[in-house]
């Protein structure tokens, strides 16, 4: 019996019309386009000044309190302080700037725009978690009864005060179970708060819903 020799089919080099080759070329083109777009996006970023620590009104700040962060702000770029612009040697902020936040032009002032002062208030009750640095709170006061056995009905003394710091009292000279909350208050609001605190009134803070 004669064995027939069957020749194996030759492997042909794919032609330019081969669908697999066309798909491969398209994938390469899309990959290159994606890399180019990513590089162009990165090139559009620029440096902006960001807070290195929590920064509150009433405290004199310096450029050393900020660092440069690369970001793309698009239409909002004119609102923030670019790293190409030197910060003033000393300045104040109009509102709290938390660590990592960008510094807006409107926040930089030579002094507090409202003439406010930082005042510490002792709060004896547990505060809502939303009362934190940078938030706003209403100040409620309950005056002590004339007989010293209780307190009168509370009333709102201040609306939407900015919270710039919170300190749990651990000193032996502080009243037990109290927290000192630092607020930025106007000159008109100071007398009522200081008088209430000096006369043993019960002071509470409630998250503000009235805005600025």
Long-range contacts of 65-72 (CB under 8 A, 24+ apart): 66/103, 69/100, 69/102, 70/45, 70/46, 71/45, 71/46, 71/47, 71/102, 72/41, 72/44, 72/45, 72/46
CA distance 164 to 166: 7
Q: Is 85 helix (H, G, I), strand (E, B) or coil?
A: coil
Domains of the chain in sequence order? 46-109 (3.90.1210), 117-207 (2.40.30)
Average pLDDT in the 71-98 region? 86
pLDDT tens profile 98-124? 999 999 998 888 877 667 888 999 887
For residue 207, pLDDT over 80 is answered with yes
pLDDT score at 174: 47
Entry pTM: 0.61
How confident is the model at residue 44, as a pLDDT?
Answer: 66
pLDDT tens profile 144-189: 887 777 888 999 999 999 998 888 765 544 455 678 999 999 888 9
Report CA 183 to chain centroid distance, whole Å. Answer: 18
């Amino acid at each position: 019996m004669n064995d027939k020799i069957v020749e194996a089919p030759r492997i042909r080099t794919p032609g330019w019309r081969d669908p697999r080759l066309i798909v491969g070329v398209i994938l390469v083109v899309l990959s290159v386009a994606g890399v180019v777009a990513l590089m162009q996006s990165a090139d559009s970023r620029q440096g902006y000044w960001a807070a290195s620590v929590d920064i509150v009104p009433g405290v004199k700040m310096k450029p050393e309190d900020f660092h440069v962060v690369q970001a793309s702000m698009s239409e909002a770029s004119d609102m923030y302080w670019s790293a190409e612009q030197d910060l003033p040697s000393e300045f104040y902020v109009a509102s709290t700037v938390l660590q990592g936040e960008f510094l807006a032009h409107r926040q930089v002032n030579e002094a507090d725009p409202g003439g406010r002062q930082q005042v510490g208030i002792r709060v004896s009750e547990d505060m809502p978690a939303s009362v934190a640095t940078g938030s706003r709170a209403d100040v409620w006061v309950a005056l002590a009864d004339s007989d010293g056995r209780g307190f009168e009905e509370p009333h709102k003394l201040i609306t939407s005060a900015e919270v710039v710091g919170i300190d749990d009292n651990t000193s032996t000279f502080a009243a037990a179970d109290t927290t000192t909350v630092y607020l930025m208050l106007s000159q008109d609001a100071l007398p009522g708060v200081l008088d209430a605190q000096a006369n043993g009134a019960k002071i509470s803070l409630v998250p503000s819903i009235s805005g600025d």
